[in-house]
Amino acid sequence: MYARVDGAILDELKAIVGAANVLWSSEALEPYAHDETPGLWSMPEVVVRANSASEVSRVLRLANERRIPVTPRSGGTGLSGGAVPTLGGIVLSLERMDRILEIDRENLTVTAEPGVITGNLHRAVEQEGLFYPPDPASLDSCRLGGNIAENAGGPRAVKYGVTKDYVCGLEAVLPSGEIVRMGGKLVKNVTGYSLIQLLIGSEGTLAVITQITLRLLPLPPYRVDLLAQFPEFEPAIRAVSDIIARRIVPTTIEFMERDSVLASERLLGKQLPGRDAGACLLIQLDGRREEDAYADMELVGDACLENGALDVLVARDRPTRDRLWEGRRVIIDALKHESPVSHMEDVVVPRAVIPRLVGGVHELAAEQGVRIVCFGHAGDGNVHVIALKDDLPDARWQELVPALQAGIYKLALSLGGTLTGEHGIGATRRAYLPLALDPVLIDLQRRLKAVFDPNGILNPGKVFP
């Protein structure tokens, strides 16, 4: 069992990080009681805002000795409740560790602290003509530590992969308080097990990340965006397969159903491109040479039209591009605006079976009498499914959510997919892990967790069923 945070522990925490960085009034704690996961809320006993690896180390050593739960937190934008302190204890915030330490133009790396806002890192490296591809849609509020811990993806994953493909060095603090450094500015490294890859996606349950070295690419100078409008969903996904079969890998292929475009319109109070189509694809291409990007644009446009697109809009400049993307960027907010209570899933399936997944989800919605909207990353099979409570009675909603979760997961698994592509297991999906993973694998992961964290103080109540 865990100990509570008492006055003596508060004093010790103040001695480590300074009294101003220990928050314990209920007003100050409230913002740390939730992340962006709808409906999940749990108060910490105290929030500690660390400013260095050595402070993180001293906090963890103390918590480990006294058996106090510690929940690491960076931007608090998670969508599976990972940063929510479901068992109370200490929230260890990394938000003050927000320095970009070095952009190395010769080795094409950037070294930064976990509290750096992802969008700020993008802008800093882009000023140097460099490029950090992972681009979660939350990039102006999420932070690198959370991106590493969740292995964040984003629209550009189709061509450039996800966070794990860019991390070459980490500094982390173990629950014992030991500070360890792994990797560095290295393109290759097979010295021992890849513990870096183990920590990526470990959702704050194994160690606290305190410094990150990321690989960069040259910034592609040319970019063109297309919005292809289809009468319905199936031909849109056929077009995606056709584009890839033509050996073009766009940076991004996002899809939106009509309901999501209309919800964005209602939030923004204006008409959006794509409003009359059954389904839209938003496709982005980039290249080192203008003529290459435009040649790919022609081929992609042809593939869409040959697969039944009604129309393909092209954006070559910033204002037009912003207009094409406006609806996609606000979908989550728009649906929240329509129904403040909702539930979001993040299943991933092989790209070609997305229509079967989306069709099955809509059948489930009709059976259960609930409104569901799907959108997401058509290029990598990652579908976001949002169920809206609207005016369903509370009791009906409470019984509906677990039934929907199980139904959606079973459907995704039956199509060769899995529970989550980028939002993680966290608190909200842990009960369903056995649907996806063999008991032997769950047990192996539990044993790994025990090696890192024998007292179970780091982010308890997450990931494991």
Per CB under 6 A, 36 contacts ligand FAD: yes
What span, in angstroms and rounded, lies between the C-alpha atoms of 217 and 224?
A: 19
Three-class secondary structure of residue 463 per DSSP: coil
Task: Give the nearest distance from C-beta 252 to ligand FAD in angstroms.
Answer: 11
The residue whose Cβ lies closest to ligand FAD is: 146
Task: Give the nearest distance from C-beta 76 to ligand FAD in angstroms.
Answer: 5
CB 224 within 8 A of CB 297: yes
53 φ, ψ to 5°?
-60, -35
Q: Which is nearer to ligand FAD, 246 or 329 (CB)?
A: 329
DSSP string, 202-251: -TTSS-EEEEEEEE-EEPP-EEEEEEEEESSHHHHHHHHHHHHHTT---S
Q: Which is nearer to ligand FAD, 44 or 273 (CB)?
A: 44
Among 73, 258, 351, 430, binds ligand FAD (CB under 6 A): 73
Q: Which is nearer to ligand FAD, 310 or 341 (CB)?
A: 341
Per CB under 6 A, 57 contacts ligand FAD: no
Which amino acid, one-letter code, is at 282?
L
Cite the beta strand spans of 290-408 per DSSP E.
311-315, 342-345, 371-377, 382-388
Pairing of strands 46-49, 90-93: parallel
Q: Which is nearer to ligand FAD, 35 or 234 (CB)?
A: 35
**Candidate segments 5-13, 72-80, 122-130, 186-194, binder of ligand FAD by CB under 6 A:** 72-80
CA distances from 90 to 60, 96, 109 (A): 10, 16, 33
Site for ligand FAD in 256-295 (CB under 6 A): none
Task: Give the nearest distance from C-beta 368 to ligand FAD in angstroms.
Answer: 25
What span, in angstroms and rounded, lies between the C-alpha atoms of 229 and 239?
A: 11
> Cα–chain-centroid distance for residue 197?
17
Contacts with ligand FAD by CB under 6 A: the residue count is 36
Q: Which is nearer to ligand FAD, 115 or 273 (CB)?
A: 115
The closest alpha carbon to 118, from 91, 153, 86, belongs to 153
Which tokens belong to 28? 């100050």
Residues 6+ apart with CB under 8 A from 6: none
**Candidate segments 2-10, 75-83, 236-244, 357-365, binder of ligand FAD by CB under 6 A:** 75-83
Task: Give the nearest distance from C-beta 207 to ligand FAD in angstroms.
Answer: 7
Per CB under 6 A, 75 contacts ligand FAD: yes
Task: Give the nearest distance from C-beta 90 to ligand FAD in angstroms.
Answer: 12
Per CB under 6 A, 89 contacts ligand FAD: no
DSSP string, 35-76: -SSTT-----SEEEE--SHHHHHHHHHHHHHHT--EEEESS-
Among 45, 55, 171, 203, binds ligand FAD (CB under 6 A): 203
Which amino acid, one-letter code, is at 39?
G
Instruction: Please give the DSSP secondary-structure letter assigned to residue 436.
Output: H
Task: Give the nearest distance from C-beta 291 to ligand FAD in angstroms.
Answer: 31
Q: Which is nearer to ligand FAD, 209 or 314 (CB)?
A: 209
CB 430 within 8 A of CB 156: no
Among 51, 64, 71, 428, binds ligand FAD (CB under 6 A): 71
Per CB under 6 A, 422 contacts ligand FAD: yes
Q: Which is nearer to ligand FAD, 77 or 229 (CB)?
A: 77
Per CB under 6 A, 114 contacts ligand FAD: yes
Q: Which is nearer to ligand FAD, 135 or 286 (CB)?
A: 135
Task: Give the nearest distance from C-beta 79 to ligand FAD in angstroms.
Answer: 5
Helix%, strand%, coil% for the chain, nearest 5: 40, 20, 40
Q: Which is nearer to ligand FAD, 74 or 307 (CB)?
A: 74
Q: Which is nearer to ligand FAD, 34 or 238 (CB)?
A: 34
Task: Give the nearest distance from C-beta 92 to ligand FAD in angstroms.
Answer: 8
What span, in angstroms and rounded, lies between the C-alpha atoms of 360 and 424?
A: 22
Q: Which is nearer to ligand FAD, 89 or 204 (CB)?
A: 204
Site for ligand FAD in 118-177 (CB under 6 A): 136-138, 142-143, 145-147, 149-150, 152-154
CB 35 within 8 A of CB 83: yes
The contact mask relative to ligand FAD for 209-248 (x = CB under 6 A, - = no) is: x---------------------------------------
Query: Cα–Cα–Cα angle for 309, 315, 320, nearest 5°?
Result: 120
Q: State the residues that interact with ligand FAD by CB under 6 A.
A: 35-36, 71-79, 82-83, 94, 114, 136-138, 142-143, 145-147, 149-150, 152-154, 203-204, 208-209, 332, 422-423, 459
